[in-house]
Structure 1
């Protein structure tokens, strides 16, 4: 029998950067990486990190270095946790763009 234990991701780690986002703990990074199902090296390539980027992913998991928001946001999207960067600020900006577009018509 296999026991599949999942680490919960705190809600404050899934917020836009300017709306109270808190850096994920190493275990939360590890959980997101597990959900994606790719190796650290493969994730590093997807994120555009250096050829030794797999080491950087391991540092995020160990908590040795904090994961940058943009990398975390991409990982969350890849893991099916949503586009966490889409918050109130972006919605307000997009609604302003829509208003400008309708003014041009």
Structure 2
């Protein structure tokens, strides 16, 4: 099983330097955590896997295109808190901590 790339800028504390993960990165994170959508939903405290599927479908280019055309999509951005929980589960550590302040 080949692992896909997760951009380093998605693995930093929330702020101006944090980049919104794409759906592909969410799918990769779920794979690294070995979680189904339902299991991920339970882990991050949401009601069911449908929201996780919306996060996994997020394509910023498609969302912007739909917005310009006045269409809605069934995609959602993953909130930082949920992403941080998944990142910790996948072994990336506590990305919400500012490493410069904890030295």
The normalised TM-score by structure 1 is 0.76
Which structure is larger by alpha-carbon Rg, 1 or 2?
1
Greater helix proportion: 1
Aligned residue-pair number: 87
2-structure distance, mates of 1:88, 1:46: 25
User: Unaligned 5+ residue runs, structure 1?
Assistant: 96-105
2-structure distance, mates of 1:90, 1:38: 32
1-structure distance, mates of 2:84, 2:53: 17
Could you list the runs of 4 or more consecutive aligned residues of structure 1 that deviate by over 4 angstroms after TM superposition? none
Question: What is the Cα-based RMSD across aligned positions, in Å?
Answer: 1.6
- Residue 84 in 1 paired to residue 79 in 2? no
Larger relative contact order (CA 8 Å, sep ≥ 6)? 2
**Other-structure match for 1:34:** 31
User: Unaligned 5+ residue runs, structure 2?
Assistant: 59-74
The normalised TM-score by structure 2 is 0.77
